[in-house]
Amino acid sequence: MTLEEAVKTDSFLGSLQTLKNFPYKILFLCIFLPPIFYILTLNGLERYLQNRETTKIRSIMIRDVEALYQGHHTVKEEVNRNIVDYLRSDFKYRLGVKTNILVRTKDDRILFPSASAVDTDQSVDFTTQGMDSLRYMEVASENYRILSEGLALSVAVRIRHNSWLSNGVLIFYVILALLFIQHFVRRGLSESEREGLEQREAIQSLTARLGRAESKLADAQNQETEYLERINALKKDRIHLSEDIDGLLEEVEKQEAGLNEQTRLKEEMAEQVLVLRNELERLAPKPKKKKKMLDSAAKRFSVLYKNLAFTDRALEGFLDLTEEFQLKAEEVIHRLNEDESAVSVKRKVFGKGGKINVLEIVFSYSGRIYYQKDSGTRKIIVAIGTKNTQEKDLAYLESVAL
């Protein structure tokens, strides 16, 4: 399969994976929740508008109290005129809000809506109709009684379905649901595209690695052919040289035996040289400054570490360390003085013939501390050094054991 075919196959599989990962749960929620939210929102708006309309109508249904007390018109006319004017001027009723208003007196006489037609555009002027002052007094008295007893107001607000307001609420929730679906679909597509891109990059990387591996395989096959040709040539040469091979082998064995003997002698001499150098260093007079430093270190260690004893070799090795290694070495020495089990022993150092039994501690990778157990809890620090001085330290331990 070529890279292009692999990419096409991967794209097809990515499409299937996108369908598989489609947020069906979110889709179902976005289908069922908008109608529920629509109903709840209409109920909430109706309750809110009902409370608001009750307050508003209660404040505007009686405006000209002075005219009522003077008997120019009745309370019923005042209530009908004010409420009708309010309903005509309020824009929300054109959007689909239906309001049922009932205004009653305390003796259950209905003032609004009026059963008879009332001219709400002009006030009833009894002077123009030729009525006398007695009629004014009767109307004013009746108005005063009704207003004193109070009016009972009942308001019921309903939002009509398939109106501008209800359809607007429904469209809002449908658009919101579509936006949610679009968000999740886009996120799924983004994830699918990202996974597809990663797969394509992985295919390209594997294809490049395959090409390099095939090239190396071809080179290896060529080299294998060359080696086979050389082996065949050497086999032919061996046939011609088979007569002299025994003599050459004997000569090689003699040379190897001589080399081994010289190697053994060299190792013995190197060991003797190390032993003599250490002995010479031990016997050679020490400079005053170094001796003073040794005495100071010996006094300090004897005060700080009651359970340890230090040889001159150990003190010299400690002073030869760098400051950083001295701090690390003294940290291990402190733990060894307090609790030997807190120190990790790398190995036991045995000399030739098993004459010495020294424990080796490693610090800071290349640092070395060699100590022996004396008696009870007391221990002797025999030598301190690093990996670079390990041969000299081991030779010193051999010389001490001897």
pLDDT in tens, 184-236: 888 878 887 888 788 888 888 888 888 888 888 888 888 888 888 888 888 77
Sheet holding 110-112: strands in order across?
Answer: 110-112, 97-105, 151-159
Does residue 281 register a pLDDT over 50?
yes
Q: With CA atoms as reference, report the closest residue to 10 among 251, 196, 275.
A: 196
- Residue 86 has which token pair? 């309010």
pTM for the full predicted model: 0.40
3-class secondary structure, 382? strand
Give residues with Cβ within 8 angstroms of 166, minimum separation 6: 38, 42, 96, 159, 160
Cα distances (angstroms) measured from residue 252 to each of 124, 240, 244: 147, 19, 12
User: In the prediction, which pLDDT does 69 show?
Assistant: 84
d(CA 399, CA 393): 10
User: What CA dihedral angle connects 243, 245, 247 and 253, to 10 degrees?
Assistant: -170
Mean pLDDT lowest among 22-31, 101-110, 167-176, 378-387? 22-31
Using 50, 70 and 90 to split pLDDT, how confident is the model at 249? confident
Sequence ranges of the domains in the chain: 254-284, 286-401
Averaged pLDDT score across all residues of the chain:
79
DSSP of 79-131: HHHHHHHHHHH-GGGTTTEEEEEEEEETT--EEES-SS----SS---TTTTT-
Q: pLDDT tens-digit profile of 294-352? A: 888 888 888 888 888 888 888 888 888 888 888 988 898 888 888 888 888 888 776 55
Region of 270 (left: φ > 0; alpha: ψ -120 to 50; beta: rest) is alpha
pLDDT reported for residue 117: 42
Residue pair 124/72 in contact by the 8 Å Cβ criterion = yes
User: What is the average per-residue pLDDT within 37-62?
Assistant: 90
- State the pLDDT at residue 7: 47
Q: What's 287's DSSP letter?
A: P
Under CATH, what is the fold of the domain 286-401? YaeB-like fold (3.30.2310)
